[in-house]
Amino acid sequence: MPGTCVVGLQWGDEAKGKIVDLLGDGFDYVVRYNGGANAGHTVVVHGKTFKLSLLPTGVIRPNVTSVIGNGVVVYPPKFIEEVGTLKAGGIDLGDALKLSDHAHVIFPYHMEEERLAESGGEGKIGTTGRGIGPCYQDKVGRRFGIRVGELLRPDHLREKLRFVVPFKNRLMKVYANGHADQLAPMSADAIADQYLGYADALRPHVTDTARLLHEAFAAGKHVLFEAAQGSLLDVDHGTYPYVTSSSSLPSGIWGGTGVPAKNIQRTIGVVKAYTTRVGKGPFPTELDDATGERIRKIGREYGTVTGRPRRVGWFDALSVRYTAALAGADEITVMLLDVLSGLPELKLCTAYDIDGERTTHFPSDAYQLERCTPVYETTPGWTDDLTAARKLTDLPAAARRYIDRVGELVGLPVSVVSVGPDRAQTILTK
């Protein structure tokens, strides 16, 4: 199919990178359309691990053009660092990496703005501190946003920063809340010098990616769209306000790349066999006990970008059914099934009790979700090590039943089961 989207259906960290990597050989382009350097992807190929947070996972595949769309916010040092890391690992991207000239740029004042905003006790969202939110704020606010293409025009960039930076310095004093004497004012010219240096490294990759992708579809090329974060973090439909600052659902593709929705003919929803969450916000099935800690340790549930321990809980069928409908998912892939081995029994959330009433619908409003108590269905666990399984018949009966039940509760077929981080540790069900 010409256009396919891989999207996480939980709170992110679903191992989308592995699915994008597995599908890569069948596509000519892999495209990131939202988020920034807060979206960690880990791909293991023949025992070699690649950790990415800004570049699309498709960069690992030869003969694939990777695209960072206009909906992504870009921190140039991270872009340059990841390109260099890949080159050191034997992957020289050359012309195979394209960066939208319309993508917005993260500056040091965005990071400082976020640090100060999150340092207070009240109103904390639990961000990664990468300046993502403030950059998106400037983008939609229009007055202070600066795009990648503007880095390539030195006189214009200096003039723009001389307008923006004084305002940001005043804003920092407000955020400092009486501690402004501890802040060193930022220099517009120093930032311009720094970013004009980055521009030389970015220049070979910068292009009109919307036109590039339109031409690709016109030529019959196959394009894979890679969502960052998870659907429950979508700024419009996630558990607001504990969400990201962009559209992490497939609906973000149109605005984030310029490719219309009619070009997306297959949507693959990625879920873990359990649930995780990073940062603040309601989490009905959270396990704050020894079982949760066991899953966290075995699943290595620590942020790829931040290293923060992830919150862990049982699989929540209500939330995944909700996001699968929003995403228009055609199928789901169940990841990290091997992590659940050794547990005597597993639980699946099939309903919530809220204010004395039972519901099977997911309330995305954080205030309502905070008051929900999960209703569980219990299923037997298994003791077998699943990491060597390569087909469904290799799985123990209890694991097969668990996968089947997840598909039934979500209402979609399970097309892939992952039993380890390597490409080979994958079961294709069709």
CATH number, domain with residue 46: 3.40.440.10
Please tell me whether residues 69 and 174 are part of one structural domain.
Answer: no
Domain end position, chosen among 145, 175, 202: 202
Rounded distance, CA 415 to CA 4, Å?
Answer: 14
Counting the structural domains of the chain, the total is: 3
- Looking at the structure, tell me whether residues 70 and 153 fall in a common domain: no
Q: Is 13 annotated as a binding residue?
A: yes
Predicted structure pTM score: 0.91
| 8 A C-beta contact, residue 305 and residue 130 | yes
> Is residue 14 marked as binding?
yes
* Each residue's pLDDT expressed in tens, for the chain with a length of 430 residues: 589 999 999 999 999 988 988 887 889 999 999 999 876 777 666 667 778 889 988 888 878 999 999 999 999 999 999 999 888 888 888 889 999 999 999 999 999 988 888 776 566 666 667 899 999 999 999 999 999 999 999 999 999 999 999 999 999 888 877 666 667 899 999 999 999 999 999 999 999 999 999 999 999 999 999 999 899 999 999 999 999 999 999 999 999 999 999 999 999 999 999 999 998 899 999 999 999 999 999 999 987 666 789 999 999 999 999 999 999 999 999 999 999 999 999 999 999 999 999 999 999 889 999 999 999 999 999 999 999 999 999 999 999 999 999 999 999 999 999 999 888 999 999 7
The residue annotated as part of the active site, out of 21, 41, 237, 316, is: 41
Asked if residue 276 and residue 349 are part of one domain, the reply reads yes
Q: Is 102 a catalytic residue?
A: no
Count of Cβ atoms closer than 10 Å to residue 355 Cβ: 9
CATH number, domain at 116? 1.10.300.10
What is the CATH number for 316? 3.90.170.10
Same-domain pairing of 308 and 173 = no
The answer to whether 13 is a known catalytic residue is: yes
Residue 401: domain span: 271-428
Burial class of residue 378, CB neighbours in 10 A (0-12, 13-18, 19+): exposed
Torsion of CA 412, 413, 418, 419, to 10 degrees: 110
Residue 221 bears catalytic tag: no
Q: Cα separation of 402 and 422, whole Å? A: 22
Whether residues 324 and 194 share a domain: the answer is: no
Same domain membership, residue 310 and residue 253: no
Residues 324 and 396 in one domain: yes
Angstrom distance (rounded) from CA 308 to CA 313? 16
Whether 138 has a binding-site annotation, put simply, is no
Taking the C-alpha atoms of residue 56 and residue 50, their distance in angstroms, rounded to an integer, is: 12
Rounded-to-integer distance, Cα 264 and Cα 314, Å: 31
Q: Where are the alpha helices (DSSP H) in 270-376?
A: 290-298, 317-327, 366-370
Shared-domain flag, residues 292 and 384: yes
CA–CA dist 335, 315 (Å, integer): 12
Could you tell me which of 117, 108, 199 has the C-alpha nearest to residue 161? 108
> Which of 102, 104, 110, 139 does the annotation list as catalytic?
139
Was 309 annotated as part of a binding site? yes
